[in-house]
Amino acid sequence: MSGPTAPWALGRGAAVRADGSVRFEVWAPAARAVRVRIVAGRAPVPMARDADGVCAVEVAGVAPGADYVYELDGAARPDPVSRHQPAGVHGASRVVDPAAFHWSDGGWRGRAMAELVLYELHVGTFSDAGTFDGVIPHLGALRDLGVTALELMPVAEFPGARNWGYDGVHPYAPHGAYGGPDGLKRLIDAAHGAGLAVVLDVVYNHLGPEGSYLGDFGPYFTDRYHTPWGRAVNYDGPDSDEVRRYVVDNACYWVTELHVDGLRLDAVHAIYDFGARHLLEELRDAVGARARELERRILVIAESDLNDPRLVRPRARGGYGLDGQWSDDLHHAVHAALTGERQGYYADFSGAAAVAKALRDRFVYDGRHSRFRRRRHGAPAVDVPADRFVVFVQNHDQVGNRAGGERLAALVPFAARKLAAALVLLSPYVPLLFMGEEYGETNPFLYFVSHGDPALVRAVRDGRRREFEAFGWGADVPDPQAEATFARSRLDRARAERPGHAALRALYGDLLRIRREEPRLVPGTARVEVGDGGGEGWIALGLDHDEPGGLLALFNVRGAETTAALPAWARQGVWRPRLATEDARYDGGGAAPGDVGDGAAACVLPAWSATLYRRGEG
């Protein structure tokens, strides 16, 4: 009879022992001889190798805080499973004792998908300090606004001090300039104390181009597939079992040692795995096992360009069983409707009809032909619960991947920004806000790096210019390497108290309060009915519209007043106003809306407006 399962522990890397020794273990089949060298003047220690290329040794008298490197046939390399890189991507690794940090979140149990109001932030530009500790003073304000979860852009060690994080090369090491592993633990512990979950963006489709030494250890990469950002990871070729373990262990490490509540998997369409059991399934199973053992909710959310509902369908129905996925189509539809832009992928989205379809059907492109892609794209997803889809009108990609990094505040009138907020926060999906969106931040969010290789810097500059050609944004692209580009991307919170900005923040706060108060706005709980006026520019969204307490939202996505011919289901009963974006409280200019329905066939909607109604009772 088998005994109880041992608790999960990170097997690779540097493990601190109770007797004052450290066990070092690394997979290095590409090297003939592997030694570990403690940097503080000690002789290198040879490591024993097994038949699979796993090298290990216990070294006495090594304390947490000691720096070390592996010597691969004499060449010094940092640990692929380094928990801390205090000297950067090229420097020595540091021994970390995961038991040394004193957590205060023992009663924290995480949050379900339907409870999430995500707030995406970049640690380096969110605060003046640009550190994990710099985020902590703002947690209370985010909680009071109605946010329930932080979503951190990637924090794994990357080259230099300035980067979005998607060029990370040490997946286990929280970035040193942000505060390292202890800084991240302090932030997560404080977030849990404030009632906020923490979702971490992780990158498993590639590693960055500078400081990546994995290929010196073993066949972590493959030339059979290609990504736009770097060499594809070897998930299904020869010797891929250890590569898969490296990534699955990484997911378990974040949720176990760092107490992360969820992982946002970057661009899973570039995770190439044609084996019978996809890496995403294996990762989801491992994280699910950790959640059960830790008695916490832990979420796995994918970003995908495929509009493929299999990511979030249950395993019993042939899906991967992930908890959620980012859905770009609502963003694209709203952005195209409000800005009039038709460049690049916005060519596929036009007017209220696309917004209405996104609200109703999850995806606009669910098997339809895409003019931009010149083929059919996506698959139907109406069978998947709405709480599996994360929606937004701004995020790091859609802002930062513009040549000028313009936020919505720089592109559309004030009334249209309020409308955009309502479209996301009254949608039947899980909402995500991008840092500063709630008060209409106007500083751009630009693309920035701080690489040390001049040739790589030139390649990044040239690549950004080429990337923008399809959008017709010209060659005037801010220099990604310049520190000024990074500095321009910092938030300016002083704006939040200025006219217009304060009113916008009040609107976000009220919309989020209403989400908490109205059961029909919990994603996945209400029956959704959507009507639209096509070329008339209006949309009607009903949530349990035929029941007492049901909700009706009317949106006008045009810059002119319009008369909405209400669909038959919206004419029944009396609808009483609950919130209007044109209210004077939000610096609107319209008169307070009256009741609608009660057999009336139409109502007048102000330009760029949203009004929420609740079905009258009795």
pLDDT, residue 474, reads: 58
Q: What is the DSSP letter of 154?
A: P
Domains 13-94 and 527-615 belong to one CATH topology: yes
Q: What average pLDDT does the segment 526-532 reach?
A: 95
pLDDT, residue 5, reads: 54
CB 103 within 8 A of CB 294: no
Is pLDDT at 184 greater than 80 in this prediction? yes
Q: Which amino acid is at 342?
A: R
State both tokens at 70: 């592996």
Q: State yes or no: is 303 an active-site residue.
A: yes
Average of per-residue pLDDT values in the chain: 95
CA distance 71 to 74: 5
Active site residue: 167, 210, 261, 303, which one? Answer: 303
Q: What average pLDDT does the segment 212-234 reach?
A: 95
The pLDDT-based confidence of 230 (bands split at 50, 70, 90) is: confident
Q: Which residue has the higher pLDDT, 591 or 34?
A: 34
Buried b (16+ CB within 10 A) or exposed e, 47-62: bebeeebbbbbebeeb
CATH of domain 527-615: 2.60.40.1180
Is pLDDT at 367 greater than 50 in this prediction? yes
Is pLDDT at 590 greater than 80 in this prediction? no
How do 93-94 and 67-72 pair as beta strands? antiparallel
Report the percentage of the chain scoring pLDDT > 90.
89
The pLDDT-based confidence of 471 (bands split at 50, 70, 90) is: low
Which alpha helices (DSSP H) does 326-404 contain, by range? 328-339, 351-361, 396-400
Q: What average pLDDT does the segment 226-234 reach?
A: 92
The pLDDT-based confidence of 6 (bands split at 50, 70, 90) is: low
Is pLDDT at 222 greater than 90 in this prediction? yes
Q: What average pLDDT does the segment 51-80 reach?
A: 97
Residue 62 DSSP SS3: coil
CB 534 within 8 A of CB 577: no
Where are the domains positioned within the chain?
Answer: 13-94, 118-351+381-512, 527-615
CB 454 within 8 A of CB 460: no
pLDDT, residue 470, reads: 62
State both tokens at 607: 């330009």
Q: State yes or no: is 266 an active-site residue.
A: yes
pLDDT, residue 599, reads: 80
242-245 CB contacts, 8 Å cutoff, 24+ apart? 242/27, 242/52, 242/53, 242/54, 242/218, 243/218, 243/219, 244/279, 244/282
The pLDDT-based confidence of 2 (bands split at 50, 70, 90) is: very low
Query: What one-character-per-residue DSSP string does 221-239 give?
Result: EEEEEE-SSSEEE-SSSTT
CATH of domain 13-94: 2.60.40.10
The pLDDT-based confidence of 547 (bands split at 50, 70, 90) is: very high
State both tokens at 222: 């493959």
Is pLDDT at 258 greater than 80 in this prediction? yes
Confirm or reject CATH 3.30.930.10 for domain 118-351+381-512, answering yes or no. no
CB 234 within 8 A of CB 221: yes
pLDDT, residue 618, reads: 43
- Model confidence pTM above 0.75: yes
pLDDT, residue 473, reads: 66
Active site residue: 266, 366, 437, 583, which one? Answer: 266
